[in-house]
Structure 1
Amino acid sequence: MPRAVREQQMLDAAVRTFGQRGYRAASMDEIADLAGVSKPLVYLYLNSKEDLFTACIRREAQALTAAVRAGAHPGLPADRQLWEGLRAFFTHTAQNPDGWAVLHLQARTHGEPFAAEVRTMRAEIVAFVTQLILVAAREAHRDPSPAEREVAGLAEALVGAAESLAAWANATPGVSAKQAAATMMNFAWAGLGNLMEGRSWAAPKS
């Protein structure tokens, strides 16, 4: 069997084990058994439990960001781009619950450098959403320079809400990816749509 194929089998087994049992409870023996290989072979390919976990985080992060980018087709209206991107996000997290558990729960709670890997992924998604909102705002207002800091804050809030909703949806029987995306759109687009039309909420002066 080619090394790349064998390595993916090991990563599949590791993601399943880490996602379901947690990083600390997972054992290399269990991962090797699930992958159908010997434990020395896992160490030969992936060096250590820490390196294996890092490889899992990177693979799952790349798959998630690729799914979101592929979902939000350029050229669509802003609301359709956001809808398609959200639907791709929730579809991916629903279809890969162990991978999402690795990213959203395990990697964030076991210190550096694992948390740094997730921050890198998250920053890429936030930057992508920021650009989507910026382009939509410029088109709506014919304004070449909307407040980028405000838009970046909106993107950060939207991504954070989507992450929490994905965790809830995966833990709640009967909630589909489409329903989760629709919930997120109902939550986010009313506000974003108003901003696109120049109608923003004003904070009280006192």
Structure 2
Amino acid sequence: MPREVRERQMLDAAVEVFARRGYRAASMDEIAELAGASKPLVYLYLNSKEDLFGACVRREADALKASVRAAIEPDASADDRLWHGLRAFFTHTAEHPDGWAVLSCQARTNGEPAAPVADELRQEMVGLVTRLIAATAAEGAGGDGSAALAGHEASGLAHALVGAAESLAGWANTRTGAVPSAKETAATLMNVAWVGLENLRGGRRWTHAARP
């Protein structure tokens, strides 16, 4: 069997075990058995449990980024780009729940070398959404500049939206009852995000001035 195929099998097995057991409780014996390989061969190809975990996180992060990027058409309107990006995100996390569990939970709680990869993924997603939010405001800007957003506003909204998307993906993937589709989950978040952005485009903002 080609090494590339064998390594993919090992990574598939490792993602499943890390998602189910957690990094610390996962054993190389179980990963090797699930992959149909000997433990010495796993060590030969992927060095150590820590290196194997890091390889899993990098692979899952790259796959998620690729799915989201492929779904966004550069020439589409800002709301279409945001919609298709969200839908691709929720589709990917629903189709790869073990990979998402490793990325969203295990990578962030087990330090080096995985945490920086997960943080980089999050920052890339935040950067992408920040640009979409800024483009949305620019598309709706009138002569009075009412739709303009300060840089910190676009960045803050993007962090909030990405955090909400991560939370919703975890919620959708762990439900025991009826499971919403990726389209439904994306629409849930889009209804909140886009209505708010439409208000900002029209110069309408919440204020606490009249409140005690």
- TM-score norm. by structure 1 comes to 0.94
Using a 3 Å threshold, how does the CA distance of structure 1 residues 182 and 74 change in structure 2: closer, same or farther? same
In structure 2, distance between residues paired with 1:28 and 1:58: 19
Residue 195 (1) aligns with residue 204 (2): no
Q: Look up the equivalent residue of 2:6 and give its one-letter code.
A: R
* 2:139 aligned partner: 139
The code of the aligned residue for 2:92 comes to: H
Task: Give the 5 Å matches for 1:32-51.
Answer: 32-51=32-51
Q: Classify the secondary structure of the residue corresponding to 1:202.
A: coil
Partner of residue 148, structure 1: 151
Give, in whole Å, the separation in 2 of the partners of 1:196 and 1:118.
32
Contact 2:141 2:148 in 1 (8 A): no
CA RMSD across the alignment: 1.7
Q: CA deviation at 1:38?
A: 0.7
Contact 2:61/2:103 (8 A) holds in 1: yes
Confirm or deny that 1:158 pairs with 2:161: yes
Q: Is the contact between residue 11 and residue 56 of structure 2 (CA under 8 Å) also seen in structure 1?
A: yes
Q: Report the 3-state secondary structure (helix = DSSP H, G, I; strand = E; otherwise coil) of the residue aligned with 2:195.
A: helix
Query: Secondary structure at 1:111's aligned position in 2?
Result: coil
The share of aligned pairs that are identical, in percent, is: 64
1:164-190 CA-to-partner distances (Å, cap 9, x unmatched) read 000000111422111111111112111
Q: Which residues of 2 match residues 31-110 of structure 1 at below 5 A?
A: 31-110=31-110
User: Is the counterpart of residue 167 in structure 1 residue 174 in structure 2?
Assistant: no
Q: Distance in 1 between the 2:56 and 2:11 partners? A: 6
- SS of corresponding position for 2:112: coil
Aligned to 2:186: 181
Stretches of structure 1 that go unaligned for 5 or more consecutive residues are none
Deviations 1:65-118 (A, max 9, x none): 111111122222222111111110000000000000001111111223322211
CA contact (8 A) 2:10 2:31 kept: yes
TM-score (norm 2): 0.91
Encode CA deviations 1:126-150: one digit per residue, 9 max, x unaligned: 1011111112212221669741111
**1:121 is aligned to 2:121:** yes
The runs of 5 or more residues in structure 2 that have no matched partner are none
